[in-house]
Amino acid sequence: MEVIIFKERGERIKLDDYEKELVGFAHEISYYLRKSGASPEQAKDISQDILVKMLESDIVLPFEKMRAWMYRAAIRLYIDYYRRDKKYLDILQRDFFHEANDLKFETPDYLPLHQAIEKLSDRFRIVLDLYYFQDLSVKEIAKVLHVSVSKVKVDLMRGRQELRKILEKEGYCYEDF
C-alpha cells in the first residue's frame, strides 16, 4: 500500500516505510482519542502534533517502542488540553456565570424579558446570554462551550423560539424588546 500525502498546492509527497508506519500510528491514535472522548478536531490535532514531533525529533526508537511512545505522548497531550480547557471553563463559570454578573435591566420595561429569559433552560439561556449580552460570536461561543458552531446556531434559534413563546404567553410581543 502506497501512502501519498497531498500538500496545499496539490503536490504529492511519497513517504518511506518509516514515515508510513508513523502515519498509520497517528491514525490509530486519532481513532483512540475520539473513542476516549476527544472531539474529532482535537483528536486529529493531537495525533498530527505527535506525528510532527516524532518526525522532527532526533529520537531513535526501536520499532516496537515507537508506537507505545506515540500513544503515551498523545495521551499526555490530551490530558494537558483537557486540564487547560477545564481550567478555562472553570474561570468562565466562576467569573461570568453567577448571580452577581446577571444582567440587571435598568428600566422596568425589561423586567418581563428578564423573567422570560430566566424561565429558559440553561442550554438556551447561556447561549443567548453569551451572544446578546456578552457580545461573543457564534464561533467564540462554540469554543467556550466545546460544541460545534452548528449546535450553537441551532440552540440560538431554538432559544429565540422558546423566548418568543414565553413572551407571547405572558401577553408581550417579541419585537417589543
102-176: in CATH 1.25.40.80: no
**pTM of the predicted protein model:** 0.43
Instruction: State how far the Cα of 34 lies from the Cα of 14, in Å rounded to an integer.
Output: 28
Angle between helices 17-35 and 40-56 (to 10 degrees): 150
Question: pLDDT 10s digit of each residue in the chain, 177 long?
Answer: 444 454 455 555 566 777 778 888 888 888 888 887 788 888 899 998 888 888 787 777 777 778 888 888 888 888 888 777 777 666 666 666 655 444 444 444 567 777 788 888 888 888 888 888 777 888 888 887 888 999 999 999 999 899 888 888 877 765 555
Domain boundaries, the chain: 4-93, 102-176
